[in-house]
Structure 1
Amino acid sequence: MKAVVVLGFILLFFGVQTQAQNNEPLNSDKPKVVIGIIVENMRPDYIQRYWDKFQPNGFKKIYTQGAVCKNVKLTLHEQNYASGTATLFTGVHPSIHGIVSTSWYDRLKKKEIDSTEDDYYFTVGADTKSGAASPQNLLSTTLTDNLKILSGGKAKIFSAALNRESAIFAAGHAADGAYWFDIESGRMISSSFYISTFPDWVRLFNSENYADIYSHRTWTTLLPEIEYTESLRDDYLLERGYFGEFNTFPHSINKYISRTNNFRPFKTTPSANMMIKDFTLRLLENEEIGTDNITDFVTAVFSSMDYENGSFGPASLEMEDTYLYLDQYIGELIDAAEQKFGKDNVLFFLTANTSASYPVEYLKEEFHLTVDYFNVESAIALLTSYLNITYGEEKWIEHYSDLQLYLDHDIINKNDNVTLNELREVSSNFINQFTGVQVSMPAFQLEQGSSANGLFEPLYNTYHKNRSGDFIYTLKEGWQPGYKFKRANYTDQSRIPVVIWGKGIKAQTISTTHNAVDLVPTLAELISVPRPDKCQGKIIKEIVETK
């Protein structure tokens, strides 16, 4: 069980190939530790916007001492932290690694499944079901998997995150530990896939009751509110806020938790990022990280208000405050790592697994942009009526989500009046006619494959035959999916920050265009690890050639 079994499996099938690809001796100049800092829903322009208020040892240190890639895109059909993290760590798009979203419809099980759910495993660290998970749905090897393989299992690989998907896909299949926050228990937990015996240091950390203690402390601004000149006023009318009503400081998180009956609102606060920072520091102290000449890899994933990101938006005072606190936490993490391992022994990188969009109301009212909500339920209702009128009364649509639709193949196969591909094309063309839809494509066209750029590139990058719908579509810039009784956590923005700094990295600004899949081959080159076999990215030459 756990990662040892998976590692053995990977070694069996990939070991010979890895040896062939890496006949050269290990680079003696490689770092002892790689520390990845991932921020969910981070726009690159947050750095410029809040620059004057950042401390010297946080974001300012990263951006003045590192190699800053200014033009990096995460070109996915649907931006989400599951697909984004999997793409960052495999160097391939969802069309290959298979994580098309945080969840997708499973035709065999007749239900929507989470990208990481796995009932074969159980929670370690709490009496909940949140640890019934694994990376088994990730169909590609990660950079950290290859690091494990190359070192014969000796490299230590860990991740810590607020969200399960981010933790698991950053850790990969062969990690020593992946930890995430459990909203039911308020603890940092893991899965038996990774861990058979819960470490004492994690048990001790959980005994400090971070979530419970800090949820009872009111979220107040780090600086006096009058100094937040980069943001909208706190009582901005169009800012929805928590539960559509609480949009001003101070925020009584405990009151919000009483509404949800779990610790989910805690994840939206700076205190949750502080918890991840403190947990990562404990991990660096208690696990045998950086104790030999084999490179170890630790990833910490922070959040930009988590699921409430869209309720406040990039221009909110809450968002600015989140980043001012995060700046301090990242500074503490960097200082501690450099002090423990030595500046010349650590390689850092900062990036994001998603970006963030401005709220529709803000763009419409303040800047008169022609954006709106695409009413998914109304569109599906109209499509259903059209199909029933055209082909007869049947339940043609089996399932739909934000940007894709699954037809009922069994019903179609029994019907002599229409074929599957015909219904796919008809349905896709119908959705294509809605004002907010940018482009829609049926599955049979996507299955033919293409290297198309522009509007179609995200569709081809993301479509996976066994997991995606019968047609998938994108919305026009600024538009967002809307529902009557639920809220979609959605962004159409694809630009993300990428900064690498530390051992041997020259401070520079890189303006050439790059894709998120370029991170893996670049890091692989810097730590002398073979890139994953199917890697679609290219090395960022400006970084490795000046090392």
Structure 2
Amino acid sequence: MKFRILAFLLVYLCVNPLRAQSQMSLKPKLVLVINVEQMRNDYLVRYADKFQNNGFLRLVNQGAVCSNVGLNLHIQKCVTGVPTLFTGAYPDRHGIINESWMDRLKEKEVDAVADPNYITVGSDSDEGQRSAQQLLSPTLGDGLKLVTNGASKVFSVGLNDYSAVFSAGHAADGAYWMDNETGNMISSSYYVDQFPAWAFSFNAKQMMDSYATRDWTTLLPSSSYAASSEDDDVFETGYFEKWRSFPYNLKKLISETGSYRVMKTTPYGNRLIKDFAVNLIDQERLGRDEVTDLLTINFSSMDYANSLFGPSSVEMEDTYLRLDQDVADLLNYVDKNIGLANTLVVLTSSCSSSYSVDFLQQKYKMPAGYVSPESMVALLKSYLNITYGQGNWIDFVMDQQIYVDRDLIEKQKLDLADFLSKAASFINQFEGVKIALPATGFEQGDYATSLLTTISKSYNFKRSGDILFMLENGWQPQFKFRKVVYTDNSRIPMIFFGQGIKSGRFRNSVDAIDLVPTIFDILGYDIPPHCKGRVISEIMR
């Protein structure tokens, strides 16, 4: 089952990669992709005067900065962004349309990464029961494995399971992420049969317990954070709606949460990932021969607490000032042990972030507002009952997708296209909704060449909902009993750094799916047939 996806790449073996073999000495020994989840483009400018020279600024000043990069997804989340970046395709092809979806045949909700067929490796928890089985396209690492006949070493590290899994792919040598229960790093039997001894030794240091004895205080004096709003800003929700100013007692936050999950929202989560990645590079001997290896490191911008504080908070700025130190440490280590001249570094993000509605409305009087999906669906159900008679017409709702009961519609001998069209028209009446579309149009290809391609590229025939809608810019969903991380910002950073890469700012339009084709071209290999992006040739010498 695990290797079934590799059939998609067998055709790749038929193309001739011999031209690349003659360029072996020119290839980087290591491709290091740094994915910072929910990173906005402007952070690199906003905090630049406080960054050190060997961290983010080294990449900005010496690398190719692509300043016009779009990651145009219908459901804009890291869980959809990571597979899009690392497959070079959109959800219509790679299949990860959301963190979960409705399987109509099995009549049950399917999780994007959870897989009970595999066990946790490195812990007794069930947080390692994960796999890439739901990912329908090969990744950068999968392609690299094939063209090198398995010689390339492929690893990923991340705070979250989906980031580690989807950046690793199917054939990786290892994918590791943080266990919320223990604060240790774990993996899945999908990737490794036995947890490496070096990883056990790393976990034995109990670094999260060590961090938990500290308070999270600002790295610099409070007067240095002029690029951010005042601490304890009224527009910040804060931890548990009661703590929103420095210092933060980490032990108290862990106690309130009941797990180490809250540590992902602090700079110490990124510190754990950096330290583990450095150990992995050393112990797995990455970049030590002429065959190119791949390591993806997935950092976070306060993870699920991103929306609790926002892009203009002191907490966000402090997170990036400390992450800058981690990036500098990482690059210095690679330079000393492998050589940055032998390394291709890419800095990017699998998802951006937006300002809160209250911040936009009340502080700057910008058009913004909340949409209540629960109220919307409740009214839709009433409308359908009035129009078609009593029935459970709605099966499942997840974010901006609504699944209807197609069996009931067929049983009542209703026309599906007409039913969905009327339902979508009803949703279109709500304030804050930009557009709602029936899935029948996507199935017929009606939207493929229109301005609605953002939804079209995210529509997967077997997995997507029956009615798909988008919100107006500045509008966000608001639920009664759950918090959501939502963004309408599709702009992400992308910087290439290494031998043969020009330095400077490049303003040509770039799509997130251009990442994989560009890396393959730099390595001297033909672009895998499933990739839909282009080679960003303007950044190459």
* Alignment match, 1:244: 241
* Alignment match, 1:366: 363
Contact 1:18–1:530 (Cα < 8 Å) also in 2: no
* Alignment match, 2:181: 184
Q: How does 1:94-109 map to 2 (within 5 A)?
A: 94-109=91-106
- 1:476 is aligned to 2:459: no
1:296 to 283, 293, 296: 293
> Which shifted more, 17-26 or 380-389?
17-26
Contact 2:51–2:324 (Cα < 8 Å) also in 1: yes
Q: How does 1:5-20 map to 2 (within 5 A)?
A: 6=3, 9=4, 14-20=9-15
Aligned CA distance change for structure 1 residues 188 and 34 (closer, same or farther; 3 Å): same
- Opposite residue 284 of structure 1, the aligned amino acid is I
Q: Quote the offset at 1:229 in angstroms.
A: 0.2
Aligned CA distance change for structure 1 residues 240 and 16 (closer, same or farther; 3 Å): closer
- 1:232 is aligned to 2:229: yes
* Alignment match, 1:138: 135
CA distance in 1, matches of 2:267, 2:32: 21
CA distance in 2, matches of 1:186, 1:20: 45
Contact 2:103–2:463 (Cα < 8 Å) also in 1: yes
CA distance in 1, matches of 2:106, 2:219: 48
- Opposite residue 14 of structure 1, the aligned amino acid is L
- What's the CA shift string for 1:207-261, capped at 9, x where partnerless? 1112222123111110011110000000211211111121111112221222221
| 2:279 counterpart SS class | helix
CA distance in 1, matches of 2:468, 2:10: 37
Question: What count of residue pairs does the alignment treat as equivalent?
Answer: 538
| 1:99 counterpart SS class | coil
CA distance in 1, matches of 2:333, 2:324: 14
- Opposite residue 367 of structure 2, the aligned amino acid is T
* Alignment match, 1:219: 216
Contact 2:19–2:524 (Cα < 8 Å) also in 1: no
CA distance in 2, matches of 1:202, 1:458: 41
- Opposite residue 15 of structure 1, the aligned amino acid is L
Contact 1:268–1:306 (Cα < 8 Å) also in 2: yes
Q: Quote the offset at 1:23 in angstroms.
A: 4.4
Contact 1:90–1:532 (Cα < 8 Å) also in 2: no
Contact 2:6–2:138 (Cα < 8 Å) also in 1: no
- What's the CA shift string for 1:439-463, capped at 9, x where partnerless? 1111110122344354x12101101
Identity %: 46
| 2:15 counterpart SS class | helix
- 1:438 is aligned to 2:434: yes
Gaps of 5+ in 2: none
Contact 2:71–2:490 (Cα < 8 Å) also in 1: yes
* Alignment match, 1:530: 526
Name the TM-score, length of structure 2 as normaliser: 0.97
1:341 to 334, 338, 349: 338
- Opposite residue 485 of structure 2, the aligned amino acid is N
Contact 1:166–1:301 (Cα < 8 Å) also in 2: yes
1:387 to 384, 389, 392: 384
| 2:216 counterpart SS class | coil
Q: Quote the offset at 1:83 in angstroms.
A: 1.0
- 1:502 is aligned to 2:498: yes
Q: Quote the offset at 1:128 in angstroms.
A: 1.1
CA distance in 1, matches of 2:332, 2:97: 36
CA distance in 1, matches of 2:58, 2:39: 18
- What's the CA shift string for 1:160-202, capped at 9, x where partnerless? 0001110011111110000011101211111101000110011
Name the TM-score, length of structure 1 as normaliser: 0.96
Gaps of 5+ in 1: none
- 1:409 is aligned to 2:434: no
Q: How does 1:187-206 map to 2 (within 5 A)?
A: 187-206=184-203
Contact 1:241–1:247 (Cα < 8 Å) also in 2: yes
* Alignment match, 1:485: 481
Q: Quote the offset at 1:10 in angstroms.
A: 5.8
Contact 1:428–1:471 (Cα < 8 Å) also in 2: yes
Aligned CA distance change for structure 1 residues 453 and 293 (closer, same or farther; 3 Å): farther
Q: How does 1:10-49 map to 2 (within 5 A)?
A: 14-26=9-21, 27-28=23-24, 29-49=26-46
| 1:158 counterpart SS class | strand
> Which shifted more, 61-70 or 25-34?
25-34
CA distance in 2, matches of 1:360, 1:229: 22
Aligned CA distance change for structure 1 residues 303 and 233 (closer, same or farther; 3 Å): same
2:119 to 122, 129, 134: 122
1:50 to 47, 52, 61: 47
Contact 2:20–2:523 (Cα < 8 Å) also in 1: no
> Which shifted more, 43-52 or 11-20?
11-20
Q: Quote the offset at 1:118 in angstroms.
A: 1.3
| 2:321 counterpart SS class | helix
